[in-house]
Amino acid sequence: MSIDGYIATKNDELDFLSLVEEEGEDYGYAAFTKTVDTVIMGRKTYEKVLSFGIAFPHAGKECYVITKSLREDDGSVHFYRGNLPWLISDLKSKQGKNIFIDGGAETVHALLNDKLIDEMIISIIPVLLGNGIKLFKDERPEQKLKLVSSKAFNRGLVQLHYICQ
Amino acid sequence: MSIDGYIATKNDELDFLSLVEEEGEDYGYAAFTKTVDTVIMGRKTYEKVLSFGIAFPHAGKECYVITKSLREDDGSVHFYRGNLPWLISDLKSKQGKNIFIDGGAETVHALLNDKLIDEMIISIIPVLLGNGIKLFKDERPEQKLKLVSSKAFNRGLVQLHYICQ
């Protein structure tokens, strides 16, 4: 997110991420995804990812797209319109690696609301966007965090890793 | 601020700051205030500070309280209801140390709106407050930042220092 808390402009644009693009620097993403076997994302985020016209970045993982409409599975992409806490509880009851919540704001909000997020890695981009879609919406319960690590990178991105308590 | 961007609860309460209280640790505050000879604060922040019933923390510095009502100066505390860019321009034209903007959200918003802030030190408290008064309100111009330093402290506070570009 930007330091003022936005993950995209009002038009869902992500141009500000180019401020921290650096050849050979993926900010730990490849290593992180190796710890993951399941991805949850909102429908809007899913469609945004598809619009990039690149290979689906979560191929090979079980992917749950949270949606209000009924759609058939597309390979390992499952469209889920049920109860989010049940889904998480079901996934956690199985053996496996981490579950990655790949946005967006609405899905994160619903999960934080039910205190279903165990860890957060937040990358702070050195920019004030001034407007846009907030990572954290108002009206959630208070939740304490434990800082696991903080790392600053060349281009001014600071990555904060928290455990939710 | 909390990681979700709040500087106080809706009732102006600051209890969450106790999460990072540690004897002998002032998070650089004393050293910072030595670089400052002028303080600007909003009227609500000023009254909040007075309500603590402690000695005025900015005694000995020129202090400008931004207010809509006409009040006479109180020693080195000046009540200012004029044009904020003029005040900043006037203060910057004089020899002196740094000007410290000690909140609150409305004063910070007005100054960011006019791109009148040169540097920001943001301390991120390890908590999701879920609700409250945001440090950064919507509807501001985009502004790039340069990360000067990032420092994590024992209690999980991370302090980010940026230069505004």
Task: Identify all chain A residues contacting B122, using CB atoms and an 8 Å cutoff.
Answer: 3
Which residues of chain A are modeled with pLDDT < 50? none
Can you give the pLDDT at residue B112?
96
Query: Do the Cβ atoms of A147 and B138 come within 8 Å?
Result: no
Task: Identify all chain B residues contacting A1, using CB atoms and an 8 Å cutoff.
Answer: none
Q: How far is A157 from A163, CA to CA, in rounded Å? A: 20
ipTM of the complex in this document: 0.93
Segment B69-86, tens digit of pLDDT: 989 999 999 999 999 999
Q: Does A17 touch chain B (CB under 8 A)?
A: no
Specify whether the backbone of B96 is left (phi greater than 0), alpha (psi in -120 to 50) or beta: left
Q: Does B17 touch chain A (CB under 8 A)?
A: no
Predicted TM-score (pTM) of this structure: 0.94
Give the strands of the sheet with A143-152, arranged side by side: A119-124, A158-164, A143-152, B127-128
Domains of chain B: 6-164 (3.40.430.10)
Segment A100-113, tens digit of pLDDT: 999 888 999 999 99
